[in-house]
Structure 1
Amino acid sequence: MATIFTPGPALQSNSSEQNRFMEKLMAKILSFYDEQSLIDVTFKVSNPTAVVPAHRLILAAASPYFENLFRGEQGNNPVIEINDIDSDTLERLITFCYTGEAPITVNNVGAMLKAAIVLQLNDAINSCVDCIMKNINGYTLQAAYTLERETQCERLKQKLIEYEIKNFMEISRGVEFLSFDVEKLQRILESDNLNIPREEDAYDAIKRWFNYDVPARQEPLPHLIACLRLTQFDADFLLTHIQPLPGCELLAFKAISWIREPAARTKISMRFTEPRATCEETFLVICRSEMNYKLLQYNKAEDKWQEYASLEIDYTNYWPILKDENILFIGGYKNGVSCNIVRSLNIRNKTWQNLPAMNQARRGHRVVELDGKIYAIGGLEGNKVLSSVERYTPSDGWEFVSSLTVGRFDASAEILNGKLYVLGGRNINGALKLVECYNPDSNTWTSCADMTECRVSLHVRVHKGHIYVLEKYSANQSSQSVERYDPERNTWSKICCLNAEWARIENVFSFDNKLWSFGHPKHDDISSVSVYDEDNDRWVKKCSLPNVDRYTYNIVPVALLSSK
């Protein structure tokens, strides 16, 4: 006679007693299985031919597949044939029904997952997926993709998406990425935790995916572009890169309106207006006092600078540039000799790696990134002024490209509209006002209109489709001369002077939607940091940096910084 057992109050109140009872019960069931006692069903399996004994009650309780099988027409047969699972795999999963454990390895996980799906063993499926993700390098990502397609396993699909979100920079450069379906790519791009240093990296990935099959991907393109945090781009980027894309004109217009007309934002419908959690940025400053180097991190919430890491660097005049999760230190000056060394500091784990050396030693050079490639431009080798330019990619190393029209050092460089501009600097004839532009598509340099003044060690920033130039040292003691370049008209024009109290400007940054200035004021011994208050046309002083010899600056994603 069947009964329904409801635990009584006494048993409920003593959980340890209940646990002991369940442990003894399970131990007895396992002993029946080990001894093949009271067996009431045997599975006949091929490849290789074998028989696997079991107990109907245990299997039916562990799996809906077995429950339905035993309730069906052949459920009472003492021997049941299973033809789509090999004998070793079935035996492991039968054991799993008793113990909740199975010997899952990289070598058998594919067969185990497929069989677990057939047998509807959800816990075994989870264990298989965990094994795959734990050994993703050994098992290989490609094999995991293949297995996901073959099994249509939703849990594996979700775990792979989580992996792709975390490792997006690497994944988006792989061949498999080009075959991602729209739904999968959209799920990844929508994530607030997408691990990218800059929103531009997500845009670059979409463009790479789109260009792989333009005719078939024009229709879904706007849906993917809408997943970008468009308000984090400036208006020039939106006009140059987003508006020309098929079907994306309205998206660009809305984002530009949102940026330029704050009062109208409540009337503009946009999916995302805040930066991703992983794209929150901060300053990371490399500072030197004599030959002691440190990385200082800016704490925005507390408006203070704190040490992030100490650095072992035994040379100077290197040029640092942020590349993905690393700061690359390129070239420099050591023991009176120019260097061609390239070292990489991983920001997250604070470890160093040597990269391939440049073809030519350089100091006083400039380094920029364009389309994922690193360019080292001009500089000095000994006393020789260089016109050479070389480009680095991980696959090809350093390769020379077309040389500058005019060799120079202590110049500046900036990227605008997919082209590289080199401005000012000096050569054997003195300071220069010459400007030239490099087109990577044609590998050619073109002379542009000269600046209005000769400038050395200048600071340049792109803003709203123009290049703004501010010199490090002010020739005029009352103000800083500022001029800007219009690439459409190929003209320079002077604009209002920066009436700041700087004796020496170290750098100017656009950060957190504000203009930040770093440098040494005329009447202060410490290095100062100020933010421009546009509404009141004044500079507001922020927490100052320690007074040391030299600084170089990077803006990095907060997510890259170690919590240790």
Structure 2
Amino acid sequence: MDYEELDLVDADYGYTFHDSSFGNRILVGLNELRLARKFFDMTVCVGLQRFSCHRAVLASASDYFRSMFGGMMKESFSDQVTIFDVDASIMRLLIEFCYTGQIEIKTGNVERLMKAADLFQFPTVKDACSEYLSMNLHPSNSLNIERFAKELSCYALEEASFNYTLQHIVEVTYSKDFTNLEFDKVLQIVSHRLLNIDKEEHAYEICLFWIKSDLSDRIRYFDRLMTVIRFPFIRRIYMLTKIETNTLVRNSRLCTDFIKESKSFTNSTLDRHQKPSIRIQPRPSTGLAEVLVTLGGCDNNCDEITTVGCINPFNSHCRGLATSPQGMRRGFSAVVMDNDIFVTGGSDGIRISNSSWRYRSKLNEWVEMPPMLQAREYHASVSMKNSLYVVSAEGCEKYDLETGVWTALATMPYAVNDCSLSACRDKVFCIGSAVLNNALSFQVYCPKLDEWTVLDCLLPSFCQSSFVPSISSVCGILYFIHEDTTRVIAYDPLRESWLDHVPPMLQLHLGGSVTQYQGKIIVSGGYDERFGLSDAAEMYDPDTKSWSLIGKLPHPMFWHNCVSLFRYVSAPRGDYYYAPPNLHDFSSVTNNLIATKELDRKT
């Protein structure tokens, strides 16, 4: 029976059909052909085993076989291919994977299977093996798995294994793999900030344990391992009884310098921002962290903020600290010395104050200090070597932490308003608006001579604005941060020259605050380019010469002060290392061994 042609309304209408199960049916069909031994066109030989296959299937599943069969090699014209460097059982699994998309990974085959998957370019099988190993990490195998992953350029597994080692370092040290590690790997592990120990002295003990595993050969690495130990955060009693009595330490000039550095840090004579070091960065697992503290300022409604906030930049966790009894007066200044905050002056709108207060970070309390010689508001202060320097139009004075006495300092050549201070290379640098003509004046104070000097250097043109820049010093360089521009400029006091390689900030911080943090500069808060009040904090890293956002303030604010200090943000959560009884006994160390160590160090 003949049918008439269908009369469709829209003859141009088209529809593309997609069968979502078609690919799976094809795969099932190909496997059925394999099991039925139909249409084979080649054989893979591995040892005495022979696997009949379809050339197109292997080439579709593996770039290795695609290159082999699609090029001009003899295998592309042959119906038989011999494969070396792989077990027949592993090749069987890979061939079955080509037809089924499934493969069984077990403890007994994962290493050989992952190597074969890497060699024959089965990336998904390699990733599956990597995931299997990641799920089976253990203190007894993490170091070996990391080494294995590195050999196969499996970066995700390598990183996961390394992080597992850091997290379980105490258990890992008891394994034979740890005692057999090369020096470079031990250094990488012990230097890492995420080493999971509850006290810094355990990192020191882990180094000793590795060295004593082969003392005659590894004694030469002692000094280099000590460069990554955070000595300032080791308990004083431990330093005295365990470290300073160690034969290797006593005979090491480098370790002697580290102990001096630790003491300088403790007594506040070390400027940790001028010579930043890994040794002055506590490990999070010990519960200690360098935090940012915000004081005073105003919020979105221009209401004064009377609270003191504490922020951990690494996790953006915020908490409140004890509030100053007199509140945060406007026009006050705040700096950190001896890991405590010193707040000076300010005004309640009626009376300008000469008061000074100290926040004791260990006790979370404020105590009143002797008053300044002059009442001051909108002044600047800076700490340097156990002394607190204060500068304003009323003059200059210094507070000595040891004597607890304020003394007047030499008069500046040009008295300044709205000034900013920074300590750099044992001198105090000041930039401010001259009282006489409002011109920017750049001056430097030498404590040894009690003398101010006007710096004979031409300020860059963009510095001539309506705002006095804030200055901050890290690594011996002064950085000038303006409020009305994102541009930043630097000055080298040694060369007495301006540097122009500093990139601009990520955003404007009108009314923001500038502080130092781990040898870097942090600018926070203030109004941005769209006149919105910001809670952003960005950091400049002199090593990478780049700015990056590191977190947020408790809430948007301006005209606040921001400083950094060390605080326990949690109880120690790292593991406890049980040192062997004779770990600290180096009585067997001879003068010849020490001489060998010193020679290797100099070399």
Q: TM-score scaled to structure 2, two decimals? A: 0.45
Looking at secondary structure, tell me which structure has more strand per residue: 1
Higher CA-based Rg = 2
By relative contact order (CA 8 Å, sep 6+), the higher-ranking structure is 2
Q: TM-score scaled to structure 1, two decimals? A: 0.48
